[in-house]
Amino acid sequence: MTALKIFRHDCFAAHRVPPGHPERSERIETINALLDATFSDCPQIAPPRAEYDTLCLVHDAAYVDAIFAAAPDEGLAHLDGDTVMCADSLEAALTAAGGAVEAARLVLTGEAERVFVAARPPGHHAEPDKAMGFCFFSNAAIAAKYAISAHGLNRVAVVDFDVHHGNGTQAAFWDDPRTIFASSHQMPLFPGTGAKHETGVGNIFNAPIDAGADGGVLAEVWRDYLLPAVAEMRPELIIISAGFDAHKRDPLAGLELEAEDFATITTLIRGLADECAGGRIVSLLEGGYDLEALRDSAAAHLNALR
């Protein structure tokens, strides 16, 4: 069995946004160039689209219908000030969610130990009934709910080191004790959620971080607080919301991580997966908006997974 498999698809670059928008096609083109140059030894597979009923494990059916209806035949449709659809965006969003679900299936059936999904648009801001923050479907939450419903898991954890709080994942998990959400994120910052007192039914663990914090601070938060809290709940699958916008070069935030700090955090998460989940990890690309920082941070993350 290959330890690390990678999902990629041409449709992710076809999701177009207005000039100057940070969540642009060049992000995935940068990741794909990295995959070609450095990770060609890992199997690279095109993921399927998500099924409608699978999306509805997290999202209201009326919301899913509204996203389908909003997809324009030409031009751009603005769902909010940040979240934009072109004619190819629905295909990309469905395939990003489908990649997350198929990645979970692969690790749960033993066809891979770890899978990285190189997809856009990202997902962790999409709430059950709302698109926001560049996100249409809550990919990590959908994969977690799929693992529980289709494979009978009792506990699934999403761990999120994106610099922005994953409000959509938190909302999807809020009252479901079978799911666990742990997040480090800069605060104050978009979307304004993620205070430490936001705990759901005892399954939500938030670690807000002040601007200016470096990788040592983040590693300490994960090592001493977030991962021990998750470990106590004994998850059987670990899903990573892998955002790289905590890098010091990123234009949308103010943390001070270097690329190698993402390798440190990923290695800590691997230790958790080895302890609780038979090593099973699904990693989903979220944020990261400086292309050089995105490339180097993703390389560090993937090398730690490989």
Active site residue 15: no
The percentage of residues in the chain with a pLDDT greater than 90, rounded to a whole number, is: 99
Rounded to the nearest 10°, the torsion over CA 187, 121, 145, 113 is: -100
Q: What pLDDT is stored for residue 23 in this prediction?
A: 98
Q: Does the pLDDT value for residue 1 go beyond 70?
A: no
What digits encode the pLDDT tens for the residues 79-93? 999 999 999 999 999
Mean per-residue pLDDT, 59-84: 97
CATH of the domain at 129: 3.40.800.20
Would you mind telling me the total number of residues written for the chain in this entry? 306
| Domain residue limits at 168 | 4-305
Of 125, 165, 247, 301, the active-site residue reads: 125
Determine contact, residues 100/123, Cβ cutoff 8 Å.
yes
Q: Answer whether residue 2 shows pLDDT above 80.
A: no
Q: Looking at the 3D structure of the chain, how many domains does it have?
A: 1
Q: pLDDT tens digits for 85-142?
A: 999 999 999 999 999 999 999 999 999 999 999 999 999 999 999 999 999 999 999 9
Peptide bond into 177 cis (omega under 30): no
Whole-model pTM: value is 0.98
